[in-house]
Amino acid sequence: MIDSFDGLSTRLIIEGGRRLEGTLHAPGAKNAALPIMAAAILAEGETVLHRVPRITDVDVMTAILESLGARVREQPGGTMVIDTSSVNSYAPPYALVSRLNASFDVTGALIARFGRAEVPQPGGCVIGPRAVDLHLRGFEALGVEIDLEHGAIIANAPSLNGATIALAKRSVGATKNIMLAATKARGTTVIENAALEPEVVDLADFLCAMGARIRGQGTPTITIDGVRKLHGCEHTVIPDRVVAGTYLIAGAITGGDVTLQGLDPAMLEALADKLRATGAAVDAQGVSVRVQGIPAWKPVDVVTAPYPGFATDLQAPFVAYLSLAKGTSLVEETIFDARFVYVSELARMGADIK
């Protein structure tokens, strides 16, 4: 049950102890939808997106696009129509950007469209700040001049020229932003040590549908041949592997029987392997994944890692699951330093976590 209070917040009231059963489809992936919405800035015309999740982050990105001059219409069933033909600003307001970490995705698109962007440093993330230095180094390699003024990043690109950019570490955000900026750069851009995440692949596939020339998405080396013009297109956002994985963990922790349909099981392979290691039954066939929980499960060690490793976004629900395992588990977080902020709350509920 969701209970509103104080006029500003909501709280969830959960009555536990029930076995979860059922079949469902995961919503569209937030981490794919947000950069794809930002990428619509590159189009000259309308873009139609399907399976867009109805969440606050999407509302904020919608407001950011509208602040730049875009017209956005939501239709039933998770469809969104974005018309960016009237976009006339390269400076989204701080009041919106500060609410959403993914707001920085508009930077690469604005640079490619206008040769300029003025974007406040992003916010909106409870697990701590996320550095954008890799993004900025990538932009500079393409010929973008970067300044920092009053907490905003000022990017000016007299010309964009392709380059070979070797990322110091694998970064989803930097891979996306460099790819966006490079779509209209002169010549060829090569991103080495690129992120492999399905959401990066989905963004690249969307850009290709707009007329971009990108190859190698889903591998450590992505190649972008710049083009002069991109057009609107129609695209369906991939399912959200984090939401799907969370439902699978919920099924396992309640000893239930839960099936997720309409998604590629490979996106959840790392989670499925760990669930099986605890004793849960996981069956992946075609475009579905089914988990069947058991009364008592074994401990297992987990190390988060970039895709295709164990997703950092699934670490918290999996720790809750492991807190009820019959033995001691070791969980190592390698992506975000502040990802364990929730542990004290689990301890208040009786979890033994050190």
353 belongs to a structural domain: no
340 belongs to a structural domain: yes
Tens-binned pLDDT, residue by residue, of the chain (354 aa): 555 544 456 788 999 889 999 999 999 999 999 999 999 999 988 999 999 999 999 999 999 999 999 999 999 999 999 999 999 999 999 999 999 999 999 999 999 999 999 999 876 454 444 578 999 999 999 999 999 998 899 999 999 999 999 999 999 999 999 999 999 999 999 999 999 999 999 999 999 999 999 999 999 999 999 999 999 999 999 999 999 999 999 999 999 999 999 999 999 999 999 999 999 999 999 999 999 999 999 999 999 999 999 999 999 999 999 999 999 999 999 998 888 999 999 999 999 999
Amino acid 132 reads V
Assess whether 233 carries a catalytic annotation. no
Question: 135 with 195, same domain?
Answer: yes
Q: Model's pTM, two decimal places?
A: 0.94
21, 39, 44, 286, 344 from 293: Cα distances, Å: 10, 40, 50, 21, 26
Question: 16 with 134, same domain?
Answer: no
37 belongs to a structural domain: yes
Question: 22 with 73, same domain?
Answer: no
Q: SS3 of 276, please?
A: helix
Question: 58 with 38, same domain?
Answer: yes
What's the domain range around 204?
A: 30-236
Domain tally for the chain?
2
271, with CB counted inside 10 A (0-12, 13-18, 19+), is buried
Q: Which of 194, 211, 236 represents a domain boundary (last residue)?
A: 236
Question: 211 with 148, same domain?
Answer: yes
Residue 187 half-sphere exposure, CB side, CA atoms within 13 Å? Answer: 11
Catalytic residue among 23, 54, 59, 125: 125
Question: 104 with 145, same domain?
Answer: yes
End-to-end CA distance of the chain, in Å?
A: 31
CATH of the domain at 200: 3.65.10.10
Q: Which of 187, 220, 236 represents a domain boundary (last residue)?
A: 236
Which residues does 156 contact at the CB level (< 8 Å), separation at least 6? 115, 116, 144, 145, 147
354 belongs to a structural domain: no
78 belongs to a structural domain: yes
Question: 216 with 257, same domain?
Answer: no
